[in-house]
Amino acid sequence: MNSVCSFSAAKQGIMLILWFIMSGPLSAFSEYCANRLEPGYVEIAYAEQQNSQVETATEVDISSAEANVAWLVSEKPGHSLSFGIETLYSILGLNLTSPMTNGHLHTWGFPLTASYNNNDVEVLYNLTPAISVSSNALKNPQLINKESLQLKTKLVYKKTLSDKYSWVFGFMSDYRFGDYRLYPLAGVCLQPSQDWLLQLTVPDFSIRKTLSSAVNLIFYASPEGNKWHVFSKDLQNNSDLRYHTIITGIAIEWFITPSIMLGLDLEQHNSSDFSLALEDESLIQFDTESRLQFRLRGKVLF
């Protein structure tokens, strides 16, 4: 990129509409303290955000839809292995000026997750290769290069010290902070009673309360973000589109049956950072105000 411009310098007062799908798991938070692999499942979600204002009185709207599927391919005493498929489709409309993308964004992930248990020690690792591009790259596979590929990883070591206390540490690498980053995770798990599970960890914090045999309530805070490698409409230029925010939320999960779950999340998305290129190869960077989002999700175990 030859020039970098702020959002306010790029035609103030012009309406910006973003239709955007966030990546990652269908629940917005990761749980390390209850990290045993589930049997196979299909999970879908829909989310919609409150309108948000940028510093120029420009408006940002965000909605999302996601689908994941996973199944156990191996289950032995002390060891389980699962494979899955994650799909993500995004639509971006930018009326400010011509963005370097046709506005249709896709992320396909193929997670491989394994869990090892030995007495009071549990180790979980995840490896997720992915493709994250604009749709014109999928229609022209020769455009897909190393910048279009992602590799997300997670390694969690959990040591149980008693029925009520354990500690975890490990690392993760992904795009939840916008750029690809390797970062640590660490903290403690407290279970003062059967009804409470406190995950006092960074970067993902959560408190889970069991209200009944069928209903859970979860409070959480977590980073969220993604990167797409996008191509101009004439396929002559390419660049990266990045997004990052911090989420705090409350979720309720209702198990209609032991194998069917419905979830509803109410989330506060704190100031979100966006970075994208225009067709003239200048870079736009801007923040949005905090805003609310609701997320409806369902899961079927099999």
The total number of structural domains that make up the chain: 1
d(CA 130, CA 177): 17
pLDDT digits (tens, 9 = 90+) for 240-279: 989 899 999 999 999 999 999 999 999 998 877 888 888 7
Q: Could you tell me which residue, 233 or 216, shows the higher pLDDT?
A: 216
pLDDT digits (tens, 9 = 90+) for 186-227: 999 999 999 999 999 999 999 999 999 999 999 999 999 899
d(CA 206, CA 187): 11
d(CA 243, CA 228): 9
pLDDT digits (tens, 9 = 90+) for 111-161: 999 999 988 999 999 999 999 999 999 889 999 999 999 999 999 999 999
Q: Which of 265, 189, 226 minimizes the C-alpha distance to 34?
A: 189
Q: Between the CA of residue 160 and those of 35, 190, 205, what are the distances in Å?
A: 13, 10, 18
Within the chain, strands assigned E span 3-6, 41-49, 52-53, 59-60, 63-76, 79-91, 104-109, 112-118, 121-134, 149-160, 165-177, 179-190, 196-202, 205-210, 215-231, 238-257, 260-269, 272-277, 282-288, 291-301
Long-range CB contacts (within 8 A, 24+) of 147-153 = 147/229, 147/238, 147/240, 148/229, 150/107, 150/109, 150/174, 150/175, 150/180, 150/227, 151/127, 152/109, 152/111, 152/126, 152/127, 152/128, 153/125, 153/126, 153/127, 153/128
Which H helix or E strand runs over 139? helix 135-139
Burial bucket for residue 29 (CB in 10 Å: 0-12, 13-18, 19+):
buried
pTM for this one?
A: 0.84
Where in the sequence is the domain holding 255, given as residue range(s)? 3-301
Is pLDDT at 16 greater than 60 in this prediction?
no
Nearest 5 degrees, angle CA 75-CA 80-CA 86?
110
Amino acid at 120: D
Residues 65 and 46: beta-carbon distance below 8 Å: yes
Neighbouring C-beta atoms of residue 20, cutoff 10 Å: 21
Which CATH number characterizes residue 241's domain? Answer: 2.40.160.40
Query: What letter does residue 7 receive in the DSSP assignment?
Result: G
